[in-house]
């Protein structure tokens, strides 16, 4: 049986992307802004990884970014108030809010924001 231990995304602008995820609370050293590949180990051991387009082209010369996406990341917040505060902080930093916080029928405070590459990040907390 395989074990999934990482989620990788391809980014256009590493410093902008890492600033977004720092604003979400990940501890990523500022020196990583210049790196072609960056990883952050999340609680539980899962890794979130970012590669520049140039890095991907180094092993896949025909790589072209396709618009749209087939996945979203989800981050659990400690409270509904934290969902609201996180969305407000990211919006204040100029990041796109796809869906303002709302109380979802399934019992969570929910919102969706986008990182600089258009990847959705859902923020949620139990009501």
Per-residue pLDDT tens digits for 47-68: 999 999 999 999 889 888 877 6
Distance of CA 87 to the CA centre of its chain: 13
Give start and end residues of each alpha helix (H) in the chain.
14-23, 53-59, 80-92
pTM above 0.85, yes or no: no
Q: In what order do the strands lie in the sheet with 72-76?
A: 72-76, 120-126, 108-114, 97-103
pLDDT in the model for residue 23: 96
Q: Is residue 16's pLDDT more than 90? A: yes
pLDDT in the model for residue 68: 61
77 backbone φψ class: left, alpha, beta (φ>0; ψ -120 to 50): beta
Mean pLDDT value across residues 73-100: 94
Rounded CA-CA distance 80/65 in Å is 35
Rounded CA-CA distance 121/125 in Å is 13
């Amino acid at each position: 049986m395989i074990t999934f231990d990482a989620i990788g995304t391809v980014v256009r602008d590493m410093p902008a992307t890492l600033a977004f995820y720092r604003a979400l609370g990940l501890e990523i050293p500022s020196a990583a802004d210049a790196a072609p590949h960056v990883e952050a180990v999340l609680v539980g051991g899962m890794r979130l990884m970012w590669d520049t387009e140039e890095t991907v082209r180094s092993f896949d010369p025909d790589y072209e970014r396709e618009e749209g996406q087939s996945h979203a990341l989800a981050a659990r917040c400690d409270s509904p108030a934290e969902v609201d505060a996180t969305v407000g902080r990211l919006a204040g930093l100029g990041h796109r809010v796809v869906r303002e916080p709302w109380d979802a029928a399934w019992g969570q405070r929910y919102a969706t924001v986008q990182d600089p590459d258009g990847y959705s990040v859902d923020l949620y907390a139990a009501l």
